[in-house]
Structure 1
Amino acid sequence: MNANVMNPLVDFSDLPRFDAVSPDDVTPAITDLLAQCEAVVTQIDQSSAPATWEKVVTPLEDVTEKLSRAWGIVSHLHGVRDTPELRAAYNENQPLITEFFTALGQNLALYKKYQDLHTSPAFNDYSVARKKIINNALRDFKLSGAELADEQKQRYAQIQEELAALSTKYSEHVLDATNHYSLHIETVDQLAGLPDDALAAARNKAQQAGKSGFLFGLQFPSFYPLLQYADDRQLRATIYRANCTKASELGENLEWDNTAIIDKILALRAEEAHLLGYANYAEVSLVPKMAQSPEQVAQFLLDLAQRARPYAEKDLAELRHFAKESLAIDELQAHDIAYASEKLREQRYAFSEQEVKQYFPEPQVVQGLFSITKTLYGVDIKADKASTWNPDVTFFRIEKNGQLIGQFYLDLYAREGKQGGAWMDDARGRRKTVGGIQTPVAYLTCNFTPPANGKPSYFTHDEVITLFHEFGHGLHHMLTQVDELGVSGISGVEWDAVELPSQFMENFCWEWDVLQQLTAHSDTGAPLPRSLYDKMLAAKNFQSGMQTLRQVELSLFDLRLHDGYLQQHQLSVQDLLNQIRSQISVFKTPEFNRFQHAFSHIFAGGYAAGYFSYKWAEVLSADAYAAFEEASDNSAIGIKFQQEILAVGGSRPALESFIAFRGRAPEIDALLRHNGMAA
């Protein structure tokens, strides 16, 4: 790089310069920023002046925010545009990032400064947000081992570095196994049942690979239509097995087997918990969450399972009967579930997901989403310009009364080199600066089917829900009115409450007035007809019992992995999963299923001993949405939701925010009712 040209990763004047970033920029930028951070920390440590916000928190936030923003760009590119060169640069620098933040959390001199801030007379005059930041910092110092003996601190730091490296390797194995797999089908006859858009996508994939016929991979939009629509049962079995054994000892390439990594991650997390004086890692994980103990979480999950089980048993009995009588499938297998379910839905409700999909073109959905957001929160969303990491990525700005309040990148399509799933991440947070207010910026990432044959991408209704979900996260980050970086937007929000705004937004995907704005048929341009909507609504809770048990199964598995149960009963991870499945599930999963080898949420995504958060927050979101169902004026409720939930970010406990909005503590009734499981 030319010495006279600023490294784009250290240019914080505005938005990230994705068009200019190269893997060669990573190490020089991170090295320089780490040196700046070390210098500031040393200066704060050695200062004999009384601790004040301006002398401790502000300079520390200023310098670490730059490091976090630069590393955030690198991490984002690692997730959405992975290359061997970028991966090498990421893996080279990740241990240095981990080492710095671990040392920061263990810095006794800095810990003492925050303690002084907490006990100073000025603390009483601080804003609620500043008090929360200081209290969070004191909690996090303890969780980072600041009070450990030097030898224990050293071991704690080693554990953090090993965990960071192992999580990255786990994620890369999943990505490599996903990208490497391909199923080549020569003739269309073998693909009977598949809808035209799935065939077109598979044909395009084959052409891009220089092959004839059709090509399928393990990206969700590629493989799932085979499970859902392919009449060829053996074809369904083949793709099912490939997907649920990826990155395992039963997968294509043992080089990507995550078995040993899983065991090592769990052992290190348990050791970390013991170092910190906790009985198990689940206890550590719950310290900054709403839930009080692993026992409380387990009871919540088991209670939910008990309520859902009769509905799940009924769901499965109906599916088995239908499969036998109508599809000649005498013994329902795992690879038949999606196919038989879709056929049963079509028979029972006289529509298919494919029929619905024709009404959800991407442009209409996106603009409809923006329109609903304007109705709810009085904000305008407009197209904006920024450099991006891929030509398909779009960029938007959010304004209120003509004033910029946030911006976001929208990356909707699946492609090679991009991690699967959907997520929101922050590019930068809102804070007050010398020049005014720094507005928040978010990344919104999905993995939908890209456009083909000159037509826009069409979304399934489930994909529309996913988009609304991630946008809910984005609104939580971008509509904040908190000016303190540590608790603005999603920062500082308890992990088991962070899904509240996202799951809350999902509810609007079922409203008739909303769907009128989101839909335009691929041929006629007509909005969704009322008759089809009524069928969708009737089918809304189709198999909700089985789906609820599936989420409980995953949540309880995650909890038991981390609450000491594994060690107490001397079980392997696979044994534990089998035991949880036999306890919770109503359907026997195949012995070869290795779901845990690609369970990135808990092994590479921050949800360790926290996957229950989805169901926990669903109680909050369903109850919050019930306020809209009860109200005559949705716009007034929308403003209240914005003011009491979105605007306050992490500046106060999530339970206080919920009570301020709802007027009482959350109740589970609305969730059960929304899922068709009310008594």
Structure 2
Amino acid sequence: MSNPLLDFEDLPRFDQVRPDHVASAVDQLLAAADAALAQVTQADFPSDWNAIAKVLEAATERLGRGWGVVSHLNAVADTPELRAAYNEALPKVTDFWTRLGSDERLYAKYKAIDAATLNPEQRQAHKNAIRNFVLGGAELSGAPKERYAAIQERLAELSQKFSENALDATDAFAYYAGEAEAAGLPADVVLAARAAAQEDGKAGYKLTLKMPSYLPVMQFGHDRALRERMYRAYVTRASDQGEPRLDNTALMREILALRREESQLLGYGNFGEVSVVPKMADSPAQVVSFLRDLAARARPHALKDLADMRAFAAVKLGIGDPQAWDWPYIGEKLKEERYAFSEQEVKQYFTAPKVLAGLFKIVETLFEVAIQRDQAPAWNPLVEFYRIERNGELVGQFYLDPAARTGKRGGAWMDDVRARWLRPDSGRLQTPVAHLVCNFAQGVEGKPALLTHDDVITLFHEFGHGLHHMLTRVNELDVSGISGVEWDAVELPSQFMENFCWEWAVLRHMTSHVDSGEPLPRALFDKMLAAKNFQSGLATLRQIEFGLFDMLLHTEHDPQGDFMPLLAKVRDEVAVIQPPAFSRTAHTFSHIFAGGYAAGYYSYKWAEVLSADAYAAFEESADENGLPSVETGRKYRQAILESGGSRPAMESFKAFRGREPTLDALLRHQGMA
């Protein structure tokens, strides 16, 4: 097996993949998938679920896994050579999936399958497949069908280019600050910045737009001019305000225009209408109404947050007219005064190894599993690999890639390496494997990496997605784990896990001071808890601003026009802090221009209602020490995690809660009840 991308015996050989492997592997996988498609669409091939899966799904699953390795490496270990190989193969891969999803012969086979012969998992997968064929253009023919395929290929190119520009614009910026400019920055950030400058052969402290460097400057840096410099660089990335070759403006307009054209080919008025078809929400109008209702509830709290900051800035900091680059700094200083602690103080207790051990402990206890280190080839020495077992049986495995570095896409995400599946071609049960990717600071001078409490929440969030993927008991590929779950419900397990980061019974087991080894003091935790909903009104409005902009962009906005006035209009309606005119945050809004959240960013707030209500069941059943109930954990695991996408998300929620969700728990959790 000379080409590692063609080895599907077990785990991917990430350490052996080279850019020159990509073209030949993709060509072979596509040829096999095409041959399988040709076979199952023959007139005499039976319209039988298992027969089709045995031939076609076996081939397309391998294609998905092989291409998944290439895509993953492109996101976490980008090089010019790999990027070129990825971009060369991308149109071919896109073309195949488009043809597959719109093949009228295959569509006819699926329509002819007798649903009464299927088990419940297969019935749900079959129902989804019929819907996806319609959304994939299977009912189009002639010129419209050809145009639909051309649109898919172009959208894939544009999204990839958008992502590259955002990464390159982020990586391109570096500022070497002097001693005085670095005043106020946390010690570990200063150490890392000095080491990075020395590596470049420069004096001073190297500051970048990667989150572990950028955010501490904005929160703690005393030098207002430095904060302005960093802010300006950050909010103008990949836009008309920066380097012309990295400007995403034209790409964004073309993406929006093509999405509008695609939706009209499919018989819809706009892309928002297409987006909600496979989601829980009934219509874009329902989404907009939901967001505006939540905005109205949050606005009084946000206005109070803002008034408090303005008064504090004027009286205590001598900042009479705060600018955009001042707000994170003012907020941090106000929090320090009001609650007598700082994020920097808290961070000393969250060493990465201890946090991970604490996360594993709560997962093992609640969901009755065991997590252990495991061995697998990886793409970077900092990547760790683990296995999850229940009663000695392998349930799933995952790669953990926590560290920010050059050539790695920003943000945090979970992705699948392979899904749980009772393979029809071999009869063997394939266990799920996941990627958990974050962008945390690395340890310096022999000390472990320190995480902010927000980092801890991010880790729990992504692990929630991972549990959804790995703890499934569904054997049907298309509805196993997160597959087939409505996109606006897919954040339920991730946001649910975040709640444990605020439970003393959980948190005390995952802290150890970096120098003394002492656990987090209860008094400091109580201050954190008191500050939990500090500025939750502002934070809620910010998410609503993103969600509303996204949905209106894909419904009311004319794609030929400038989208900046729409963003300004949404901010006028929702935001209480207006950014400067040069701000171009939309130009790096990868969730909707290079991810799966187009006309779906509202999903975060929508699923938060579900997750808060689900977590309320744990609050109601906790013991006198605040420890969550294992029985409730088991019920949640079985109703939500194990059932995956095998039934509608609302059915899974009701199986757990015994009723539909309400907004009450979310408002209570965020101090807005």
Tell me, yes or no, whether TM beats 0.5: yes
* SS across alignment from 2:557: helix
2:60 match: 64
One of 513, 516, 540 as aligned partner of 2:532:
540
For residues 225-240 of structure 1, the aligned pairs below 5 Å read 225-240=216-231
- The equivalent of 2:191 in structure 1 is 200
Counterpart residue number, 1:324: 314
Q: Which residue number corresponds to residue 641 of structure 2? A: 646
Structure 1 residue 64 displacement after superposition: 0.3
- Give 1:639-678 correspondences, 5 Å limit: 639-678=634-673
1:19: how far off? Answer: 1.2
Corresponding residue SS for 1:567: coil
Shift of 1:61: 1.1
TM-score (norm 2): 0.98
Q: Report 1:524-535 matches (<5 A).
A: 524-535=516-527
Is 2:398–2:435's contact at 8 Å kept on the other side of the alignment?
yes
- In the alignment, the residues of structure 1 paired with residue 450 and residue 490 of structure 2 have an alpha-carbon distance, to the nearest angstrom, of 29
User: What is the alpha-carbon distance in structure 2 between the residues aligned to residue 189 and residue 102 of structure 1?
Assistant: 56
Name the residue aligned to 1:399.
Answer: 389
Alignment partner of 1:437 out of 424, 429, 442 = 429
The aligned runs of 1:389-538 (5 Å cut-off) are: 389-433=379-423, 434=426, 436-538=428-530
* Pairwise CA distance, 1:141: 0.5
Deviation at 1:57, TM superposition (A): 2.6
**Which residue of 295, 300, 305 corresponds with 1:305?**
295
Q: Give the Cα–Cα distance (whole angstroms) in 2 for the partners of residues 657 and 128 of structure 1.
A: 14
| Aligned counterpart, 2:360 | 370
Is the CA contact (8 Å cut-off) linking 2:448 and 2:514 kept in structure 1? no
1:214 aligned partner: 205
For 2:203 and 2:385, locate their aligned partners in 1 and report how far apart those are by CA, in whole Å: 36
Is 1:361 matched with 2:351?
yes
Give the distance between the partners of 2:558 and 2:354, measured in 1 at CA: 52
Taking the aligned partners of 2:578 and 2:428, their CA distance within structure 1 comes to: 58
Q: Displacement, 1:619? A: 0.2
Deviation at 1:571, TM superposition (A): 5.2
| C-alpha distance in structure 2 between counterparts of 1:216 and 1:549, whole Å | 29
Q: Distance in 2 between matches of 1:238 and 1:505?
A: 36
Of 545, 554, 564, the match for 2:546: 554
Residue of structure 2 in register with 1:567 after alignment: 558
Aligned to 1:622: 612
Secondary structure of 1:190's match? Answer: coil
Listed as ranges, the matches of 1:94-109 within 5 Å are 94-109=90-105
SS of match in other structure, 2:326: helix
Q: Could you say which residue in structure 1 is the equivalent of 2:85?
A: 89
1:124: how far off? 1.6
Deviation at 1:125, TM superposition (A): 3.7
SS at 1:148 equivalent: coil
Query: Which residue of structure 1 aligns with residue 124 of structure 2?
Result: 132
**8 Å contact from structure 2 (residues 351, 448) kept in 1:** yes
Task: Give the partner amino acid of 1:106.
Answer: S
Q: Shift of residue 542 of structure 1?
A: 0.1
Q: Select the residue among 258, 262, 271 that pairs with 2:261.
A: 271
Identify the residue that residue 180 of structure 2 maps to in structure 1. Answer: 189
C-alpha deviation, 1:6, in angstroms: 2.5
Letter in 2 for 1:553: E
Distance in 1 between residues matched to 2:88 and 2:46, nearest whole Å:
38
Deviation per CA, 1:419-477, whole angstroms, max 9, x where unpaired?
Answer: 00000000000011335311000000000001111000000000000000000000000
For 1:219 and 1:349, locate their aligned partners in 2 and report how far apart those are by CA, in whole Å: 28
What's the offset of the Cα at 1:589? Answer: 1.1
Aligned identity (percent) is 58
Picking from 254, 257, 260, the partner of 2:247 is 257
Residue-by-residue CA offset, 1:536-576 (whole Å, 9 max, x unaligned): 0000000000000000000000000001x1129x8521000
1:399 aligns to what SS in structure 2?
Answer: strand
SS in structure 1 opposite 2:49?
coil
Q: Residue 558 of structure 2 aligns to a residue in which SS?
A: helix
Q: Which moved more, 1:496-505 or 1:58-67?
A: 58-67
Structure 1 residue 42 corresponds to structure 2 residue 33: no
What is the alpha-carbon distance in structure 1 between the residues aligned to residue 584 and residue 457 of structure 2? 27
Paired amino acid for 2:42: Q
Partners of 1:355 and 1:674 in 2: CA distance: 24
CA RMSD of aligned residues (A): 1.0
User: Residue 11 of structure 1 corresponds to which residue in structure 2?
Assistant: 7
Residue 626 of structure 2 corresponds to which residue in structure 1?
A: none
Kept in 1, the 8 Å contact 2:421–2:430? The answer is yes
Q: How many Å separate the matches in 2 of 1:208 and 1:409?
A: 28
The residue identity in structure 2 corresponding to 1:646 is L
Query: In the alignment, which of 104, 107, 117 is matched to residue 111 of structure 1?
Result: 107
Secondary structure of 1:577's counterpart equals helix
* 1:589-646 deviation digits (Å, cap 9, x = unpaired): 1100000000000000110000000000000000000000111461100000000000
Q: Distance in 2 between matches of 1:349 and 1:240?
A: 26
Does 2:371 align with 1:381? yes
8 Å contact from structure 2 (residues 39, 45) kept in 1: no
- The Cα of 1:47 is off from its aligned counterpart by 4.0
2-structure distance, mates of 1:240, 1:82: 25
Q: Would you say how many aligned residue pairs link Structure 1 and Structure 2?
A: 666
Shift of residue 501, structure 1, vs aligned partner: 0.1
Q: Distance in 2 between matches of 1:380 and 1:409?
A: 16
Question: Offset of 1:222 from its aligned partner?
Answer: 1.1
Match of 1:243 in 2: 234
Q: State how far apart, in whole Å, the 1-side matches of 2:218 and 2:636 are.
A: 39
Note the residue ranges of structure 2 that are not aligned, 5 or more in a row.
624-628
- 1:58 Cα deviation from its structure 2 partner: 2.8
- CA–CA distance in 2 between the matches of 1:632 and 1:582? 43
- 1:327 & 1:581 partners in 2: Cα distance? 27
Q: Describe the superposition over 1:196-229 as per-residue Cα deviations: whole angstroms up to 9, x where unpaired.
A: 0110111111122121211011111111111111
Distance between the aligned counterparts of 1:165 and 1:645, measured in 2? Answer: 35
For residues 125 and 46 of structure 1, the distance between their equivalents in structure 2, rounded to whole angstroms, comes to 22
Q: Distance in 1 between matches of 2:119 and 2:604?
A: 31
**Equivalent residues of 2:508, 2:519 under 8 A apart:** yes
Q: TM-score, normalised by structure 1?
A: 0.97
Which is worse superposed, 187-196 or 85-94?
Answer: 187-196
1:566 aligned counterpart, secondary structure: coil
Output one character per residue of 1:502-544: Cα deviation in whole Å (capped at 9) or x when no partner: 0000000000011111100112111111100110000000000
Name the amino acid aligned to 1:677. Answer: M
Name the aligned partner's letter for residue 328 of structure 1.
G
The alignment partner of 1:426 has SS state of: strand
SS, match of residue 396 in structure 2 = strand
SS of equivalent to 1:540:
coil
